[in-house]
Amino acid sequence: QVQLVESGGGLVACECSLRLSCAASGRTFSRSSMGWFRQAPRKEREFVAAISWSGSTYYADSVKGRFTISRDNAKNTGYLQMNTLKPEDTAAYYCAAGSYASTVPKGYAYWGQGTQVTVSS
């Protein structure tokens, strides 16, 4: 099993940067793929980025070039660096862990509780 806890969300009022962290417990994190998803009010959860256990990365077109996903297996932690934030990035952000770097939520068995990111114009 893997337990996940996100942190680093907040409110920004500029094209600023935030870094989200996803702290994992459980001995299988280094062999798990990790994904970030987000969900805005009244919208479905959408894929943001994913990183495989070997380090391959995948991004949604809407964040490509602005967001960077990474992981530090020694710290059992994953990250989502978000630059040039826009109001449309406002959502609850969730990290997830699973066997494969999937772009759909059902591809992940474990989820964190989410952290809110709000970007005001």
117 band by pLDDT with thresholds 50, 70 and 90: very high
2 band by pLDDT with thresholds 50, 70 and 90: confident
Name the token pair of 25: 């417990």
Cβ(69)–Cβ(51) below 8 Å: yes
- Residue 27: pLDDT above 80? no
User: Can you give the pLDDT at residue 15?
Assistant: 85
The Cα 113–Cα 63 span in angstroms is 22
Query: Residue 81, by phi and psi: left (phi above 0), alpha (psi -120 to 50) or beta?
Result: beta
